[in-house]
Amino acid sequence: MTHKSSIRPKGHWSERGRVTSVANADALGRPRRSVLAFGIITRMPEFTLTPWIWTLGIGLPVFAVVAAILRRRAQQSAWWRFVVCFVLACAIAPSLFPWTNGHNAGGVILIPAVLMFADMIQRGSEAVFGALILGALPLCIVSFVLLGIWSALIRRRKRDA
């Protein structure tokens, strides 16, 4: 006597993993398979809090000290203003690091750019390009944006005075 489970048609699975008949496989309202198609990849942003707490906890006090020391010089010189903006950018600049598991999951990890830069530099010469793209580039972009805003405010204040 043959058991009922040994007569199943192979390759036809229901949503709950039980075998269905070939005639019932394309029934309306019933999904054909429970796995996602290859073209559908879900990208989820990941925000890890611990690196941000450490970076802000160390970076903002350092920025406050540097800003207090260079305050007069930064008001008069764009170079010193850039130095202060760069120190602030080291504390707040984000870096986006994409990841995937090779199938249908992936995402973007949002971490401080200064940590990404330090990690890539630590890896040696094979990671210099990654250090520039994932670390130095976000730091420079944030620094120049801050410098532009601060310089515009100084110009406006001088013009209005």
**What global pTM score does this model have?**
0.63
Per-residue pLDDT, 9: 52
Per-residue pLDDT, 41: 47
Ordered by start, the domain boundaries in the chain are 1-34, 42-160
As a three-state string, the secondary structure of the chain is: CCCHHHHCCCCCECCCCCECCCCCCCCCCCCCCCCCCCCCCEEEEEECHHHHHHHHHHHHHHHHHHHHHCHHHHHHCHHHHHHHHHHHHHHHCEEEEEEECCCCEEEEEEEEHHHHHHHHHHHCHHHHHHHHHHHHHHHHHHHHHHHHHHHHHHHHHHHHC
For every one of its 161 residues, what pLDDT tens digit does the chain have, with 9 covering 90 and above? 555 555 555 555 544 555 555 555 555 555 555 554 444 445 555 667 888 888 899 999 999 999 999 999 998 999 999 999 999 999 999 888 777 766 666 677 788 888 888 888 888 777 788 788 888 899 999 999 999 999 999 999 989 97
